[in-house]
């Protein structure tokens, strides 16, 4: 036994211990110090699955669901089960070729891996769905259908009020950080869907899943200990009367314009028509993209909610407010008379403002026949009132009145993109003409609602509610209540009366008298109903587009019944020509009848149809639509040409028969040289159109001195 080697046992022990120490040290750095591996493990080992709750449902005032959810299917594929599946059959059903199919599958494998189901085609159309469910057993288990929830509009109405949802884009994500949105989510983009997004979306749930090495979700992490459950969106109860809304949309078919009806007692909006409107179900489901681009490029701008986003000069409807101011300021009383000798000569005879009904009128009469001279005089008295030292202060005072009536500022309605409109201020004129270089005569057209005054339809309707209530209004709104409580206090401001100016009832009575006369025997006789007293006011608004005078807008606003008013309403038909009483008044008459009597009497149904069938689309828009259609056709045709279809048709049919084809192709060749107007240009154009009067008036004024 070699005793001298005895010390070597310690060397051996040392080797053992030192290597173990190295290992423990390494384990310490890996497990305790470094956090890199924990993050990596979390990334690959767990999956945060977001559970989308159902969006809230929107009901109308009679508790009919006007916006709710339905399910539609996605076709799912698990690539590693594809072997032996009849892909040709699938390609035939989905109308794609095998190369496309293969490319799609490869994309999905790169994105999600082979073993994890991915969406092969999202939101199947009904037609494909029917074909697929028939032969799905041949495609299983590689393919299966998965339901998902989408929005649906059962009445196919109120598109612009309800709005639509769409996939969020990067811009949206930037604007709403920390609200839990990720790319691919849907969010409300317009209308109520947008303004009540927070409430409708509900609370997203999160499930933590374990994920395996093939990217499959295996089971819940710790039996769902860390999960949060999804809470469905809250339902909204609106004040919309969906039947009234449908009637309004029917009446405004083939017209540009708006109808807004408000319950003056509550401020709840009963109907809100923006014409042309669109089929809201087009913007859900499988064909969304196609429909959206069509609507987006449509020159008549169906996606624009004109009731809040378009501004017009109010025209003669403005006179009711002028009367209120005049009476309250004491510059006139109900018996003050002015006579119309053909025009208003209060500013000299340079360019007199015409009046149509010759004669002498008191206030009631002046409202009834819409006498321009009368109100030109009233406003002249208000502005030149000796009570105020300067024209500046008088105009500011006048401006205060208008502001308190709800004009010149956003009302705060619960719909997005509300416009402020415009009520001229001294500051504005100082800027345009220079301080002290303007007087009442400079802006005398404002007295009859032309010139620099701009209002939105909702403002006009609200002003009617204000007059109907004799001095107060509630901010107009669509949503009355939220099921389960108003957590974000969105509705608080719609619960209180706004009583801006203390105007005595007698003044309102006088204006009501005049407005009753308008419908009874005045300019708005078209709105007259048998047993309901309507107070109304017509407006015939001159307007310009790119400096060229266009057909007049037809305005009518009013409320009914006179005692205990239940509906305040306004209607504008753009570029209809003729007078406010011609188109807008009968439309309003029918709307009021429908709302108050719940039905339209039989003898007036013919009138309804006649109005509904009228095509008052301005020729300018018609022309633009025509141009666009031909461009689209040319695109289709040229793609056919490119594919050689036309040639093969020619070969078979022979040259003589394709005369029309040839012509069309020629048109296409010409039009395809033109650049297709981009959507942006269109919108800019329309903005210009909507605010045309203002600019043209300004131009005129500027060229004058």
* Residues of this chain that bind other proteins (CB under 8 A): 1-2, 4-5, 8-9, 11-13, 15-17, 19-20, 22-24, 26-28, 30-32, 34, 36-38, 40-42, 44-46, 210-214, 218-219, 221-222
- For other proteins, the closer of residues 24 and 99 by Cβ is 24
Cα–Cα distances in angstroms (integers) from residue 601 to residues 586, 589, 605, 606, 693, in the given order: 14, 12, 7, 10, 39
Residue 109 C-beta: closest distance to other proteins, Å: 15
- For other proteins, the closer of residues 38 and 546 by Cβ is 38
Residue 82 C-beta: closest distance to other proteins, Å: 21
Give the span between the Cα atoms of 686 and 691, in whole angstroms. Answer: 9
Place of tokens 């470094």: 34
Residue (of 106, 89, 95, 94) closest to 140 by Cα position: 89
Backbone angles phi, psi at 334, to 5 degrees: -60, -20
Backbone angles phi, psi at 435, to 5 degrees: -65, 130
- For other proteins, the closer of residues 31 and 229 by Cβ is 31
| Structural tokens at position 374 | 């009368």
Residue 48 C-beta: closest distance to other proteins, Å: 13
Residue 30 C-beta: closest distance to other proteins, Å: 5
Give the span between the Cα atoms of 152 and 58, in whole angstroms. Answer: 11
- For other proteins, the closer of residues 15 and 88 by Cβ is 15
- For other proteins, the closer of residues 13 and 487 by Cβ is 13
| Secondary structure of residue 614 in the 3-state scheme | coil
Residue 629 C-beta: closest distance to other proteins, Å: 49
Residue (of 382, 376, 336, 380) closest to 360 by Cα position: 336
- For other proteins, the closer of residues 210 and 409 by Cβ is 210
Residue 105 C-beta: closest distance to other proteins, Å: 20
- For other proteins, the closer of residues 7 and 170 by Cβ is 7
- For other proteins, the closer of residues 220 and 635 by Cβ is 220
- For other proteins, the closer of residues 38 and 175 by Cβ is 38
- For other proteins, the closer of residues 2 and 348 by Cβ is 2
Residue 658 C-beta: closest distance to other proteins, Å: 49
CB atoms within 10 A of CB 383: 21
* CA Rg value for the chain: 34
CB atoms within 10 A of CB 223: 8
* DSSP H or E segment with residue 205: strand 205-211
CB atoms within 10 A of CB 83: 7
Residue 622's region, left for phi above 0, alpha for psi from -120 to 50, else beta, is alpha
- For other proteins, the closer of residues 219 and 657 by Cβ is 219
How many angstroms separate the most distant Cα atoms in the chain?
A: 145
Backbone angles phi, psi at 297, to 5 degrees: -90, -5
One DSSP character per residue, 405-472 reads: TT-SS----SSSS----B---HHHHHHHH-TTS--GGGGGGGGGT-TT-BB-HHHHHHHHHHHHTTS-
Residue 8 C-beta: closest distance to other proteins, Å: 5
Place of tokens 């003044």: 507
**What are the start-end ranges of the E strands in 213-364?**
217-220, 236-238, 257-262, 269-275, 338-340, 343-344, 353-354, 359-361
Residue 6 C-beta: closest distance to other proteins, Å: 8
- For other proteins, the closer of residues 27 and 605 by Cβ is 27
């Amino acid at each position: 036994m070699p005793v001298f080697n005895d010390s070597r046992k310690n060397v051996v022990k040392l080797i053992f211990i030192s290597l173990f120490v190295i290992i423990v040290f390494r384990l310490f750095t890996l497990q305790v110090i470094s956090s890199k591996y924990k993050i990596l493990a979390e990334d690959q080992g767990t999956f945060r699955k977001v559970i989308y709750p159902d969006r809230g449902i929107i009901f109308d005032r009679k508790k009919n669901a006007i916006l709710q959810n339905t399910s539609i299917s996605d076709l799912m594929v698990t690539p590693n089960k594809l072997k032996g599946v009849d892909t040709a059959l699938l390609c035939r059903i989905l109308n794609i070729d095998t190369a496309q199919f293969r490319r799609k599958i490869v994309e999905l494998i790169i994105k999600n891996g082979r073993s994890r189901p991915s969406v092969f085609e999202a939101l199947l159309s009904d037609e494909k769905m029917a074909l697929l469910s028939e032969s799905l057993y041949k495609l299983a288990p590689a393919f299966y259908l998965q339901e998902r929830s989408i929005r649906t509009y059962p009445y196919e109405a109120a598109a612009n009020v309800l709005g639509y949802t769409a996939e969020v884009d990067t811009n949206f994500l930037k604007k709403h950080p920390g609200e839990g949105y990720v790319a691919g989510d849907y969010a409300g983009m317009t209308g109520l869907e947008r303004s009540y997004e927070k409430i409708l979306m509900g609370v997203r749930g999160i499930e933590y899943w374990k994920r395996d090495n093939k990217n499959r979700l295996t089971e819940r992490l710790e039996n769902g200990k860390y999960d949060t459950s999804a809470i469905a969106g809250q339902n909204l109860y609106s004040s919309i009367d969906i039947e009234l809304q449908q009637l309004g949309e029917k009446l405004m078919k083939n017209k540009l314009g708006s109808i807004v009806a408000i319950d003056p007692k509550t401020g709840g909006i009963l109907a809100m028509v923006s014409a042309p409107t669109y089929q809201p179900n087009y913007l859900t489901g499988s064909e969304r993209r196609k429909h959206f681009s069509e609507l987006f490029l449509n020159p008549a701008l169906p996606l624009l909610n004109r009731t809040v986003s378009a501004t017009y000069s109010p025209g003669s409807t403005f006179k009711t407010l002028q009367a209120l101011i005049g009476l309250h300021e004491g510059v006139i009383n109900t018996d003050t008379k002015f006579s119309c000798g053909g025009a208003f000569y209060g500013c000299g005879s340079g360019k007199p403002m015409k009046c149509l009904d010759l004669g002498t009128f008191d206030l009631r009469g002046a409202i009834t026949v819409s006498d321009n001279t009368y109100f030109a005089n009233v406003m002249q008295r208000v502005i030149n009132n000796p009570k105020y030292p300067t024209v500046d202060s008088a105009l500011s005072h006048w401006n205060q009145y208008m502001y308190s009536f709800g004009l010149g500022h956003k009302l705060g309605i619960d719909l997005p993109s509300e416009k402020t409109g415009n009520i001229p201020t001294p500051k504005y004129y100082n800027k345009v003409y220079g301080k002290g270089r303007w007087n009442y005569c400079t802006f005398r057209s404002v007295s009859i609602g032309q010139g620099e005054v701009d209002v939105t339809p909702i403002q006009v309707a609200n002003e009617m509610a204000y007059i109907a209530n004799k001095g107060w209004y509630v901010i107009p709104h669509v949503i009355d209540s939220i099921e389960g409580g108003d957590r974000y206090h969105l509705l608080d401001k719609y619960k209180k009366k706004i009583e801006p100016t203390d105007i005595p009832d007698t003044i309102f009575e006088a204006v009501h008298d005049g407005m009753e006369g308008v419908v009874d025997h005045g300019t708005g006789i078209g709105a007259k109903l048998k047993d309901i007293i309507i107070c109304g006011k017509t407006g015939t608004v001159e307007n310009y587009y790119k400096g060229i005078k266009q057909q007049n807008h037809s305005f009518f606003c009013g409320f009914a019944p006179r005692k205990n008013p239940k509906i305040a309403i306004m209607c504008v038909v753009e570029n209809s020509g003729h007078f406010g009483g011609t188109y807008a008044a009968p439309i309003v008459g029918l709307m009021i009848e429908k709302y108050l009597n719940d039905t339209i009497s039989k003898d007036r149904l013919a009138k309804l149809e006649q109005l509904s069938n009228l095509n008052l689309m301005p020729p300018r828009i018609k022309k633009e639509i025509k141009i666009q259609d031909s461009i689209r056709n040319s695109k289709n045709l040229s793609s056919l040409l490119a594919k050689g279809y036309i040639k093969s048709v020619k070969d078979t049919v022979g040259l003589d028969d394709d005369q029309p084809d040839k012509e069309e192709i020629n048109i296409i060749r010409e039009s395809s040289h033109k650049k297709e107007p981009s959507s942006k240009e269109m919108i800019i154009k329309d903005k210009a159109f909507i605010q045309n009067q203002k600019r043209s008036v300004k131009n005129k004024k500027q060229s004058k001195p």
